Amino acid sequence: MLKPGLMMDRPLLLSGILEHAATQFGGQEVVSRETHGPLFRYTYADCAKRSRQLANALHGLNLKEGSVVGSIAWNNHRHLEAYYAVSGSGMVMHTCNPRLHPQQLIYIINHAEDEVVLFDITFAPLVKGIAAHCPKVRAWVCLTERAHMPEIEGVAHVLCYDELIAAASDVFEWPDFDERSAAAICYTSGTTGNPKGAMYSHRAIVINALSGCLPSVLNLSPEQAILPVVPMFHINAWCIPYAAPIAGAKLVLPGPKLDGASLYELMESEKVTISAGVPTIWMALIQHVEQNKLRFSTMKCTAVGGSAMPTALIAKFNDDFGVEVRHGWGMTETTAVATMSSMTPNERAMSSADRHALVGKQGRSVFGVDIKVVDEAGHTLPRDGSSQGELMVRGQWIISGYYKGEQSPLVNGWFPTGDIATIDAQGVMQIRDRTKDVIKTGGEWISSIDLENAAIAHPAVAMAAVIGVKHPKWDERPLMFVVRKPGQTVEKEEILSFLEGRVAKWWVPDDVIFLESLPVGGTGKVQKADLRKTYGGVFS
Ligand code: ADP
């Protein structure tokens, strides 16, 4: 018979994280770019105080445990206060992606039943357009002070955040409740059909955030200053706003200024040591740094995910700038990072080309997440680094169902990710493609990610994307889009012959189209659906 353990049963709650930071690292800084421009700085102790004021103010608006509070906001200190005030009082924080189509925003606000929505001044025109279609929202709270309040004609119940909390007491007893209660909800981007809600429990977020602090994940400590460029409006900024206060790390929030120059300036002025974002952000940053012949004085590591990080960019960060790249994988349904590249001493001793190729893969699953790949019949494939199939995940921070979803997405207790991957004997997983992006040609598969990776290695190529285009004989053939680096003149023939040496002959795209830029979606990823809509016709 099992013996019961004799430990206290204290719930894992988000309020505990904030109070830990406020009491143990009370003087540690949080620096935030205001939406109207200047930098704002205070401490975890100040943040906790304002968060308690907000908790009181939300109760004053008649919200209760279980109420849902939406946010349409950048990464800034008021958003951070809301993360804790809302979830800490037993309400549910619904972060909305402002780059969703307004119809989808209306859909998710109504589906989640938001009662109050917090928004940044940038999004005042958006609020003006959607407010009338969100009947359950009783108040729209603008995350600013009185001096910067926007005029929003025709929307009733617009409140000023700073005024709202100024009137509230900073004494608030965070309630204790079941750690399995909902803390936050985030909807998928809904590229096919309506967005679906992933509802995170306190327990899931706390365990994920703890794991994010590990040396093999983000390596957070009071000596680190972390700049999450990944948005707080999508997948909780990979739980960095929770992990940093656990570790007592300085938190630097970039607000709306996400261009290469602004990020570089912030990294330097705030002595940032680690940052996190999608590859398109890092491409822009590196371009700025190279063009202006700059160096990083404190940046040691960049965590990247959301889409595949090209090996050429990994090499550049590492070899030219001494910045280590950590490449992770995760999705809305996995709370945050589920796999991460990390190196054993043997792997670190490999040649730099082999190391970069290894980091180009998405890494090992972090503790708490199990992964496997299965064939179409659901049989587990060998961990041989070449058998590819659908990636399945399970663990304490993987969803078991969608909010108000009727059918469970799980297959025998595992979540099917829709990603095609391989896993090798060392446990290293590599995403080969998304099921919807893989190119099926003559009964074989071409990985669009591998082709893009190969093209990015060309010195004149800034960005590349590949889609499958219908073909009368081969079913589909690859079509490549290339954005040239500024001042470069590379042409199609040169790209194709460059690729010939790097990928199988039958992988070489049938055509290359040069564009000024690629369509990038709400979370900084190239929108292949848009490319398919415009160019996905038929190759003759
Ligand atoms: P969406 O892209 O639809 O908004 P998510 O933001 O949840 O959805 O993104 C999850 C997807 O992003 C994964 O299923 C995977 O296809 C892709 N992804 C995430 N990280 C990586 C990575 N490091 N390499 C390749 N693809 C990735």
| 226-251: pLDDT as tens digits | 999 999 999 999 999 999 999 999 99
Q: Give nearest CA residue, ligand 1 atom 3.
A: 189
The answer to whether 440 touches 471, Cβ cutoff 8 Å, is no
Distance 196 CA to ligand 1 centre (A): 15
Mean pLDDT of the chain: 95
pLDDT surpasses 80 at 222? yes
**Measured distance CA(43)–CA(30) in Å, rounded:** 5
Nearest-atom index, ligand 1, CA of 434: 16
Nearest-atom index, ligand 1, CA of 449: 25
Q: Give nearest CA residue, ligand 1 atom 11.
A: 331
Range of lowest pLDDT (83-92, 190-199, 433-442, 448-457) = 190-199
Nearest-atom index, ligand 1, CA of 308: 24
pLDDT surpasses 80 at 295? yes
Mutate to test the pocket of ligand 1, among 97, 331, 435 (most ligand atoms within 8 A of CB): 331
Model confidence band, residue 193 (pLDDT cutoffs 50, 70, 90): confident
Q: Give nearest CA residue, ligand 1 atom 13.
A: 331
The answer to whether 117 touches 209, Cβ cutoff 8 Å, is no
Domains of the chain in sequence order: 14-31+40-203 (3.40.50.12780), 365-434 (2.30.38.10), 439-535 (3.30.300.30)
pLDDT tens digits along 391-434: 999 999 999 999 999 899 999 999 999 999 999 999 999 999 99
Mutate to test the pocket of ligand 1, among 230, 329, 434 (most ligand atoms within 8 A of CB): 329
Q: Give nearest CA residue, ligand 1 atom 10.
A: 331
For the record, the structure tokens of 182 come out as 């909902």
For the record, the structure tokens of 447 come out as 């990985």
332 lines ligand 1 (CB under 6 A): yes
Segment 87-95 shows an average pLDDT of 98
**Measured distance CA(105)–CA(97) in Å, rounded:** 8
pLDDT surpasses 80 at 539? no
pLDDT of residue 401: 97
Model confidence band, residue 14 (pLDDT cutoffs 50, 70, 90): very high
431 lines ligand 1 (CB under 6 A): yes
pLDDT tens digits along 482-497: 999 989 999 999 999 9
pLDDT of residue 501: 84
524 lines ligand 1 (CB under 6 A): no
pLDDT tens digits along 451-473: 999 999 999 999 999 999 999 89
Q: Phi, psi (5° rounding) for residue 436?
A: -85, -10
Residue % of the chain over a pLDDT of 90: 91
**Measured distance CA(330)–CA(339) in Å, rounded:** 7
Model confidence band, residue 540 (pLDDT cutoffs 50, 70, 90): low
Running DSSP on this structure, what letter comes out for residue 151?
P
pTM of this prediction exceeds 0.95 = no
pLDDT of residue 525: 85
305 lines ligand 1 (CB under 6 A): yes
Distance 139 CA to ligand 1 centre (A): 33
388 lines ligand 1 (CB under 6 A): no
**Measured distance CA(475)–CA(492) in Å, rounded:** 23
Nearest-atom index, ligand 1, CA of 431: 25
pLDDT of residue 520: 87
pLDDT tens digits along 351-398: 999 999 999 999 999 999 999 999 999 999 999 999 999 999 999 999
pLDDT surpasses 70 at 326? yes
Q: Give nearest CA residue, ligand 1 atom 27.
A: 307
pLDDT surpasses 80 at 140? yes
Q: Give nearest CA residue, ligand 1 atom 4.
A: 189
331 lines ligand 1 (CB under 6 A): yes
pLDDT surpasses 90 at 192? no
- Tally Cβ neighbours within 10 Å of residue 413: 10
Model confidence band, residue 111 (pLDDT cutoffs 50, 70, 90): very high
